[in-house]
Homo-oligomer: A and B are copies of this chain.
Amino acid sequence: MSSSLVLHSYWRSSCSFRVRIALHLKGLSFETRPVHLVKDGGRQFDAEFTALNPMQQVPALSVVPAGGAAPTTITQSVAIMEYLEDAHPAVPLLPASHEHRAWVRQLVETVASGTQPIQNLAVIRKHAALCPEVDGAGPAWATHWITLGLDALETMANAPPPGVSAPKPGEFLAGAQPSIADCCLVPQLFNARRFEVDLQRYPTLLAVEKVCLEHPAFVAALPENQIDAEA
């Protein structure tokens, strides 16, 4: 018997959204265990969840061996997606060549370390608490950093390295097959809309998003399709 997968997730968390897409793209079944990031001050701060992830963030993926051995819990969305790629390579989410893989990971990190961490809920709250009165606090803080990140991502997508093509009509960010770069792009655009970023600046990213949202794995991973979704 193989191990089973439990995803600790919140419907609106863009980092949880990334991992849900990757799981669905690979055709892996998993149980969703919701962690409400707002209710009661945030259930990610509960002792039980903190023991799973000392960073007190979702997602966390528990790999539960058959037969009752202790589970392994992996945190950090990029680490989880790389684990899925290592452990379940049948549907690859990284290309074959070293240079092409580097390109995909560059796009991933431009979102996952270059953009999202600065606009996450904890950082927005801290910034707004320190300077509640100024222009540029709260949502404007998020809008600023998302715009910088997506500006760079749109430019990169149209200027790939030698041997890699910019996305053609109907293609994903890194070509004909979806990759972990698409798993990061779509949730970042979801965040961008929440903060009313002007997306007309990003025709290439929007074209790729459209292709993604026609794919059932992306649809299954959408926030509104989760068991903990709210109106």
Q: Which A residues contact B (CB, under 8 angstroms)?
A: 53-57, 63, 69-80, 82-83, 86-87, 98-99, 101-103, 105-106, 108-110, 112-114, 116-118, 123, 126-127, 130-131, 134-137, 141, 144-145, 148-149, 151-152, 155-156, 159, 161-163
Docked complex Cα distance between A145 and B126 (Å) = 10
Cβ B114 vs Cβ A78 within 8 A:
no
Taking a contact as CB atoms under 8 Å apart, the answer to whether B57 and A79 are in contact is no
Complex CA–CA separation, A80 to B123 (angstroms) = 27
10 A–B contacts from the bound complex (CB under 8 Å): A54-B156, A69-B162, A71-B162, A72-B163, A73-B161, A74-B102, A76-B109, A86-B101, A113-B113, A118-B123
Contact B79 A109 (CB under 8 A): yes
Residues of B within 8 A of A161 (CB): 72-74
| Cβ B102 vs Cβ A80 within 8 A | yes
Complex Cα spacing A5 to B78, Å? 26
Cα distance, A11 to B156, chains bound together (Å): 25
Give the nearest-CB partner of A137 in chain B. Answer: B130
B-chain residues with CB within 8 Å of residue A130 when the two chains form the complex: 127, 131, 134-137, 141
A155–B155 Cα distance when bound, in Å, is: 39
Asked if A98 and B87 sit within 8 Å, CB to CB, the answer is yes
